[in-house]
Amino acid sequence: MTKIYAHRGAKGTYPENTMLAFEKAVEMGVDGLEVDVHMTSDGQLVVIHDEYVERKTDGEGMIRDMTLEEVRALSAGARYKDFEAYESSWEAEKVPILQEVLELAEYHDIELNIELKTNKVLYEGIEEKVDAMVSGYAIEHKIVYSSFHLPTLIRIKTINPNARIAWLNKKVPSIIYDYINTLKLDAVHLSYNAVLKKTGKIGKSEDKVRVWTVNDVDDAERFFELGVEAIMTDFPREMLQARKEY
């Protein structure tokens, strides 16, 4: 059965990449969470999508130039007043540290996709830090690292040959399974519209394919029929409901 991962938490309904969004997604019954990770100037791993804080917090600046204390002083929920479910308590949401999400995933025994956002900013040593942190958790085998930046994934695999790695791609590579085999990838994470245009190319190894970001139930049903390993969605409740038919 195709798994359902909450993309940045249940971000269609709650403030993305916050503990609130992750907890709500877990309550909905998702199989996994997808999170984006950056590193602060003092070497701490934080969960936020952009390399800067302006879009989704009330602060300004680049994560790499800010200390953890500075990042944690920001509100990650204050910019969501136009969301239907908005409550004033959202203003207290902070940018999570990776440990918080690991603990949540471990407590509920669910999968976790850690996307390392090294494609725009290089964070020296982030691969070692993430691997060292994850190695203390019982759900280590349920964690998959992804990145658009292939050297990051190769670095992780070199540090820890048991780490599961997935290459993020906006297109379906023409030699997709050559990539998987040669680079010893565990999976590829592909953009949903690229896969919909080229479903024939993903062949018989659908279990090595996860697809993002699937927010339309009709699209999700096509992926359930194709049998891809997982879809990532901003609307897990709706997708979990649709999956009941499969």
Active site residues: 7, 49
232 touches ligand G3P (CB under 6 A):
yes
**Which positions ≥6 away from 130 have C-beta within 8 Å?**
37, 45, 98, 114, 116, 145, 156
User: Cα separation of 245 and 132, whole Å?
Assistant: 40
Q: Which 180-199 positions form the footprint of ligand G3P (CB under 6 A)?
A: 189
Q: Which 86-145 positions form the footprint of ligand G3P (CB under 6 A)?
A: 115
Residues across the chain: 246
Among 16, 36, 131, 186, binds Ca ion (CB under 5 A): 36
User: Cα separation of 64 and 52, whole Å?
Assistant: 8
User: Cα separation of 181 and 204, whole Å?
Assistant: 14
User: Cα separation of 212 and 178, whole Å?
Assistant: 21
Q: Toward Ca ion, which CB reaches closer, 34 or 241? A: 34
Would you state the structure tokens that stand for residue 76, as one six-digit string? 């990650």
Position closest to ligand G3P via CB: 212
For the bound state, the minimum distance from the C-beta of residue 100 to ligand G3P, rounded and expressed in Å, comes to 19
For the bound state, the minimum distance from the C-beta of residue 34 to ligand G3P, rounded and expressed in Å, comes to 5
For the bound state, the minimum distance from the C-beta of residue 199 to ligand G3P, rounded and expressed in Å, comes to 19
For the bound state, the minimum distance from the C-beta of residue 16 to Ca ion, rounded and expressed in Å, comes to 10
Positions that interact with ligand G3P (CB under 6 A): 7, 34, 36, 49, 115, 146, 168, 189, 212, 232
